[in-house]
Structures are given as structure tokens and as C-alpha cells.
Structure 1
Amino acid sequence: MQLTPDAIIGIAAGLIGAALYALSVVIYRSKADDVRAIMVGAIKMWVALPLMAVLALVLFGSSAFSIPLETSILLALSISLGAVIGDTLYLISQERIGVSYALPIAMSFPILTHVFTIVFLGELFIPSRFLGAFVAVAGIVLLSREQARIDPDTELRGHFDALGILLAVLTSLLYAIGTTILQVGVTDVDPISGNFIRVLTGSILFIPMVILANRKGMPFPTKQTTRLIAIAGFFGMGIGSLLYVIAVKYVGAAVMSVISSSAPLFAVPVSVFYLKERITKWGIVGVTCTIIGVALVVLGI
């Protein structure tokens, strides 16, 4: 990849977005015992909506709402498959087989994204970029496995759960499809207007999900917990999702999928200093692999 101004903007947006997402996830984890995952998803989406609405109206006025129907459908579909359905399936999978198995399988989506962009979008096959995706995914696997091993609150499942594995595979597939669709949907629109449509769709979809979960016994979080999640969601979903769309627009789905999957890399220093977790030698190897993999993908030599 030639490091043009647009490419530099896209790479920078992707890395900053991944860092913000990683930081927010660490905060969500610190409140895992106080709030259900579906409420975390809903709160962060609902917090992001007014931010995107204000940005779209201030910068683009009424034109922000004049996106063609076909494009709006693609944008809505991209977030429905990824941040709504995909994330929900991942959480169910994580409950069944544990994070040490669910996360590596789900985070293999950059490899599928590369395949989809080559097959369906006609992008060139670049061996070093494909290798970088594998190396980065291997690094994420090491990081997640080590995280599960040293975290006393994370259970390593010892039995085979076909449904849990299937859900993790479906999560990876949905993430890859959603990211590929986003590349098509954001081609002819500005990232702010495009992301507004995405967040609006996600916010609407979470309403019946929260109502149904509450009727089935899900308690609402306390004001203090809600406030903390909202602040994390403002940066992780509000700003982070916009940076994600910017990155996909300027560097494409294949490159951005690898950058976004490297989010656990940014969570390492936060986990060490904020959650007082230890990092092992295999964790360091995972960090190194992830960095090398991302570099290979970005450079695409």
C-alpha cells in the first residue's frame, strides 16, 4: 500500500479507533458483575447516537439525511450484522466455550474479510498482506489465551461444545460480511453521515432487545454503572465507530479488519496498570506477532 495522505488518515483513524475500543472494553470488563452485556451494547449505542446526529447536522445539515436508499440499506446491514447480531452471538458463544476459545475464533474474521474483498470486490491478492492477517490473528490468539489463563474470573472450558464453537464461527463470518458491506456502503458518502445511519439503526434494534431481556428478568444497572459505561461508550462507540468508518473508507475493509482485530494489543497496558493484571512471556510474543502482522498488512509489500 502506498502511504498516500488518504491512506495515512485511514491507518491513523483505525489505530486510534482500536485503542479507544480497547480502553472501553477494559472499563466494561471492570463492571461485568454489575451489568448485562446486552445493556452495555445498548447504552454505548444510545450514547453514540446523539453525538453522530449533532455532527451530521452541524457539518452537513439536511444533506446528511439524503443518502440514497440502497446505500442506507447497506450501511444499516453492516452494523446489524456486526455490532448487533454478531456481538450478541459472540457473547452467547463466550458463555458456552469461554473467552479463550470464543475470542480467537471470532477474531479470525480478518482472514475471511481478505477472502471476501478479493472474491466479491475484485481486490488484488497480496501475499504479504494475507500473511500479515494470519500473523496478527495468531498474536490475538496468544493474547486471548494468556489473558484467560491468568485471569481468575475467566473459566477455561474443558468440554467440547459444538453450538458454542458454531456461534463463534458465525460471529467471525458476520464480522467479515459486515465489514465488507461497509466498504461498499461508505464509498459514495461521507463517514459522518454514513456512521449516523449505522448508529441510528443499531440504536433502534437494541430497543426491543432490551425490553425483551428486561421482561425475562434482566435488571437495569445502577446510575453510577450506567454513567461509567456511557462515558466509555462515548469514546469507544461514539468516536471509535466514526474512526472505524473513516478507516474502512480510506484503506478498505481488508486492512481495517486487521487493525481493528488488534484492539487487544492496546488493552494490554491498560489491563496491566488499571486492572493490575500480569503479562507473561507468551503474552509478549502475542503482542509482537500482532504488531508484525499489522505492519505487514498496512505496508502490503
Structure 2
Amino acid sequence: MAFSYNSFKIESTFNYKLKIMMKFFDVKIFVLACELKNLSAVARELSITPAATSAALKRLEAELNTRLLQRSTRSLTLTKSGSDFLPYALKSLENLDIGKQAILGDKLKGSITLSVPSDLGRNTLLGCLMDFQQHHPDINLKVKLSDKYADFYSQTVDVALRYGEPEDSALVCLPILRNAVRELCASPDYLARCGTPKTPEDLVKHNCLHFTSDDMLSSHWRFFKDTSTISVKVSGDHLSDDGDYLRLLAVKGAGIVYKTCLDVREDITAGRLVSLLPDYRKEKSPLNMVVAHRKSYDGNLAVLKEFLVETLKPSEINAS
């Protein structure tokens, strides 16, 4: 039988593409396994057999030469290697979704209902979201401002931006800013009248403006120095469930606030607020995109996430 170079080339190209597709499929199964914590649930989700899901994980682990998941009859748990690999797996699937949009030439269209913290939405993201809609005019963006965690089960919310990890571990959490921190600050007028705290313990003598939601007070503020953690129970005469209201009170000289760096960076730059306790590390306040389910994370949300990451990146203040 005569050798055909063209046939060999076509077959090689097909095999190469098949291997690439299988690798993405294996990564997708790994991500779903991390989310659902059960191989049978992953199999039902993808309409494949449990044996196929197990084989995909084994292929991926063989490719990486490490164990990603510890398996038991009841559940799956991430190994250290699996935990390290998960962010890259999520990123690869996100890039694949964006790449599909680019190759197909599809215009993004439809609607996104986005829940955003009040201060972040009004002051930091307003211009950013306007730019996003100018780039994608066929997307109808509906923004809900609230400092409470979005209830995906009772509200019509597609996606939420929230600081910290969601309380519901079933939700899918995708990082926007990993290393953002909180800033302790007050206005020059307040500091002139009431003095400047030198240590976290000094805060008990000050009027601290803190957040309250559903009768739960965020009155314990934490700071770090060397290997020590200092937790201070603060008090003040102004409580609110709206972060923007607390920031404006601080600007007007009512007291001290402990807010994420994104919310107060412009006030600090303009001199309306002064950053306090520079010798102490502050609490981390990572910003995440939260969706109810991996299926909810479509091309629209993938592009929105990428847009936010690129727009907010220069604003990130790294936790030391």
C-alpha cells in the first residue's frame, strides 16, 4: 500500500486536535469534581459514565505526574497539588470560552443581572461598567447595589461581585482581585480633633464606624504584625448596612472606618482620608465573582470577568 503524506498529515492533525479536546475535557471534569465533590454527580452532570469521569481524572493526573484529588466512597477532597492547580484549570476553561466567541465571531448579546456592593458599584465600577457596555452594546446590564450577599435561589441574580469567600460553599467563586486588603482610615479633621491611633488597641478610645447586616455586627477588626494577630472589638455611634454611607461619614469627620482599599483609594489620594496604622498589616479583602453554578458561567460572564480583572488590576494593593 502506497504511503500518502496528505492522509498522514490529516490523520496527525485529527489526532492532535482530539488530544487537545480530551485535555480540556479532563480539565473540565476536574473542575466539576472540585465543585460537586462526587464523581457520580459529575457523571450525571455531563451525561457520561462514572468510569469515564474516573478515567479522565487519571489521565490528567498522569499528565501532571501528581495526585490532584483524594478519593473516597463518599467524597473527593483536593490535595495540595490539586489546590495549586485549580486556579489554572479555571483560567484555561475561561480562556476556552472566550476563544470560542472570538473564533465563531459571535457578538455578545443577552442580559446580565449583576449584584455589586454599594460603594464599589457607585464609585469604582460605574465608569468601568459603562465602558463594558460601550464595547458590548448588545448586552443589557442590570446592576443591583447591595452590601448583602445575593441570594441566587430567591432573587433574579446571574452573578455577584463580593469581597471574601461566599458563605454558601455550593456557589462557584472566581477571583477578580486576589490580594486586595482593607484600609483603616479617617479624615484629617477627625484626627485633629480626636488624635491619631498608634496601635490597634488605641481604637477602643475612638468612634469607629462599622458595618451591620441582619443584626450581625462587624465589630471585631483584625490587624497583623510579625506572627501576631491583634483583634480589637470596636464601637461607635454610627452603624449602617451600607458601606458607602460609612465611607461618606468618615470623609465628613464622623469617625474611623476599616474598608477595602478599592473603596477608599481615591479619598486617600485626594487627602480626604488618611491611612492609619502603617506599621500593621491589614485584613485581606479579595474581590470575587460569584455564580450559582458552573453552567451559569457563560461567554458573557467570562468576558465581563476578564474586563473587570484588566480594569481593576492597577488598583490592586498587595497584602504584605
TM-score (norm: length of structure 1): 0.24
Higher strand share: 2
Please identify the structure whose Cα radius of gyration is greater: 2
Higher helix share: 1
TM-score (norm: length of structure 2): 0.23
